[in-house]
Structure 1
């Protein structure tokens, strides 16, 4: 190719990439992405690059103060069952700090305050999908739910008695305290009284208790709240985790609290150490939601009344005043995850050390893949021999992709395929240059940002796949075929700038937009961290690896590095 043709090709691609980064919905099947094989007819292709891939099982992961937190039970026949609980400190909202109740000021109030209700509310990720009726009713669809949103489980909320300290004493209180997903201390030290114990008889709670047959309900909430003038005000709110908590507990902890314990949140978080959410399987429970406890509307609200004395002349009357005391899920928050009934084939493959024919990726306390590019460095000069040959050839690298094909014989039935994989620098626990330089956005679905870098579930034609579940059978009716990740800049740096040929890590990710890393409780060689959004994801997949011999029926599906290049004139 001559230089003029190359420039034409480059500017055409740039304009096209800018156009598709606009407000187009890439959820819909039929939307093509940049990078299909037809785009490369002007380039030569090198697809025999040396590549080896391995599985690595990981242990407990740091899960404190994550951007979102899973809650529930998710069953995957390929990997087993993941159970996710949660513990969080509570902080008084700014208007509640230092509040003095009327237990000593009888000149203003009659008697003590009376608690009407204590409501815990955490909005789900949802969107309106139905027409708003004349009554103002909206129909919602829940997002970020794995399994079946209507699947019932036991959900118990306890008062935690474990103090989640801010700083690590073993590091001379100079580093943040790390809390891992396997903290048995939370369970062992809970105050053994279920707070969400109110008897409520409806189709959601068949035995009359909010905790016994809980599920993630997609209906909006219709409630009535009394304003300060004691007038009923009807309200509607989005679907949420909404529970009534025990009034006596909060009366003792809040209304009867010594004033000194409400003086600041630092004091309060040691006095009232937070809430612990525990989920239990009812036998067929299979539903897990991603929740944002940091949401401004995620809180515990104590609704109470006070009788204010009003004296006119010689006549004294009492006016009922409705008030609230808000507690936010602030401070330290920890996701608690455990695995059970793990598939033996998965455990055997994930714990093996040899080059893998299949790659098992599982979020949470699961497994990752390790990828080595370009083979050995026989002359020990710090550069792989294959890279030296490419440099000697003088190739101009135009594009490079890793393509991972899904083992469709293993991922079947109700198993959800991860919508996204993430490739990263395993040596240094950081994202690749291609991630940093990709500014492509999808405003309708931010989880598909950076779609040029890729890692999104695709069909055979490189089209984004929107998984659809049959409501009757629970089966996924359309499945993905592969994942493709562009690492052009990474390869260019290896060839042109003698960058270090680092090992690459591959994980499932809940969101591509967060690039933090979580510590492993027990490092595995040089592997000390995994991407944060992989730590909280419950899903997994099986991909074809590299140890597939020629002649094997799956040889064409092996993991490949494809490099498109221009030869020098």
Structure 2
């Protein structure tokens, strides 16, 4: 039902954008008019929410600059479980040399997959910088199972069926290859901010090339500020990596980048399990994520070792990179009259703005007999409900019979979604921003995800950010004044096609590098979720999803 505050001719509301310029208002725009010649009020229009599954999202770095690649398992019982994995090519290195001579001997000691964590410095004590890991989700007490495998699917940047176009990899694509490269098969991931070193046993070759004595050697990750940062270190099977890489450095497979990309098609870092944690990894970070081959060069005179030097070859995680999201239905279904939005390949919601719900007598009273003879021209159901399409017809009729003293200014239109705080009471783990756009039907009968004009006409006011009360998550609000004004006035190219609510992703911004793009991309690497109340007034009362329109009119 519609809530009416103050006396308002609904038909005039639609004309706000058209008629406001015809009178000399002292204050106009999106702010409420403040003087004694006007009265203000608001109406609340119901919305209808339909939850929608996201089958998959674009997941490659071919067509977008991706900041976060999530790795791990996140089992939020109120959202779909995510098993997030990473697929990446390795960068090519030229002029590799590990060929023994009469005076020099090369020995491979260790192979490590090294990826810095996203971490923030918390200060320095006694010359040691301390960190906290950023944005980890899930259960830190449960180890997450990780496997590194050889990828056997060629990651082409061009579309194989049409090489004139860029390729696209989606989050549910499958990648061939079951050759496990991680040492011991499965690596148990439990990241800590103190993981600033990786210690391993290295063979001591200082006195003998055939010796078996070992010593503890330490690997660190040093960033551009010369700080030792926490990092993920997964040992790889040295026998397999020796066969795949080390023994082929002087063969045709490593002769050129093209040959290398075709020979070794990358790695899959695969997370599995029923529970665990999810960590964001920036694959464009400093130091660069890499597969490192640690080796020893021994200078010899016959069988006598004269000197040793420890070195490494680093193959960066570069070229085509993709995310893979395996989604599993939530343990707990959303309560009645609630719905969930979740990023990655989770859930979004279709939002339909409903029309005016008034009885026929109320409708006649509202419009003061100006068109009593014309009510049969409108599609009014048994309960007196006018659809949005019928309201537009009504608005256009009313426009032709305006009285000279009947001007009204629409100040604002906002769409608000309230959070179910019984489920989501921690503002740190839910989305910090949602996004609203429109699925427009195109000329071919398909769907074109399209930016609302409010998102780029007035981006600072468009909203969608999380609002809190006493640090408790409360709601998300969008100001869609321009869209509603055009919709109710029946402006050309403004449609009633559904609005779509989703978790915000950086690629949703309509303006990048000062270039406006009205189409909405399907990327999303934000794994957070939130449970919201739908538009049912009897169930949710003042916390229901609602469209509020504020207005000013002449007294």
TM-score, with normalisation over the residues of structure 2? 0.70
Q: Which runs of 5+ in 1 are unaligned?
A: 14-34, 198-208, 311-315, 350-355, 440-449, 466-478, 517-527
Map of 1:121 onto structure 2:
114
**Does residue 168 in structure 1 map to residue 159 in structure 2?**
yes
Q: Is the 8 A contact 2:72 2:85 kept in 1?
A: yes
Classify the secondary structure of the residue corresponding to 1:158: strand
Report deviation, 1:233: 10
CA separation of 1:195 and 1:137: change in aligned 2, threshold 3 A? same
Question: 1:480-525, CA deviations, whole angstroms, 9 ceiling, x for partnerless residues?
Answer: 1211122233334446754413431101135477569xxxxxxxxx
Map of 2:323 onto structure 1:
335
Map of 1:261 onto structure 2:
253
Number of equivalences: 456
CA separation of 1:46 and 1:263: change in aligned 2, threshold 3 A? farther
Map of 2:499 onto structure 1:
504
Match of 1:99 among 91, 95, 98: 95
Match of 2:347 among 346, 361, 367: 367
Question: 1:238-282, CA deviations, whole angstroms, 9 ceiling, x for partnerless residues?
Answer: 22222232333333333322443223333212211111112232x
CA separation of 1:544 and 1:290: change in aligned 2, threshold 3 A? same
Match of 1:486 among 476, 479, 485: 479
CA separation of 1:567 and 1:263: change in aligned 2, threshold 3 A? farther
Match of 2:392 among 381, 384, 390: 384
CA separation of 1:511 and 1:43: change in aligned 2, threshold 3 A? farther
Distance in 2 separating the partners of 1:411 and 1:561: 23
CA separation of 1:373 and 1:249: change in aligned 2, threshold 3 A? same
Question: 1:89-121, CA deviations, whole angstroms, 9 ceiling, x for partnerless residues?
Answer: 1112xxx3x214243x737x523x222332322
CA separation of 1:217 and 1:553: change in aligned 2, threshold 3 A? same
Cα RMSD for the two superposed structures: 4.2
CA separation of 1:233 and 1:357: change in aligned 2, threshold 3 A? closer
Q: Is the 8 A contact 1:99 1:259 kept in 2?
A: no
Distance in 1 separating the partners of 2:415 and 2:229: 41
Report deviation, 1:126: 1.6
Q: Is the 8 A contact 1:514 1:532 kept in 2?
A: no
Larger-Rg structure: 2
Match of 1:457 among 466, 476, 484: 466
Distance in 2 separating the partners of 1:153 and 1:223: 19
Distance in 2 separating the partners of 1:123 and 1:515: 31
Question: 1:204-256, CA deviations, whole angstroms, 9 ceiling, x for partnerless residues?
Answer: xxxxx9x4432121215146999xxx999986522222223233333333332
Q: Is the 8 A contact 2:507 2:521 kept in 1?
A: no
Map of 2:45 onto structure 1:
49
Q: Is the 8 A contact 2:355 2:391 kept in 1?
A: no
Q: Is the 8 A contact 2:391 2:488 kept in 1?
A: no
**Does residue 434 in structure 1 map to residue 454 in structure 2?**
yes
Q: Is the 8 A contact 2:198 2:233 kept in 1?
A: no
TM-score, with normalisation over the residues of structure 1? 0.68
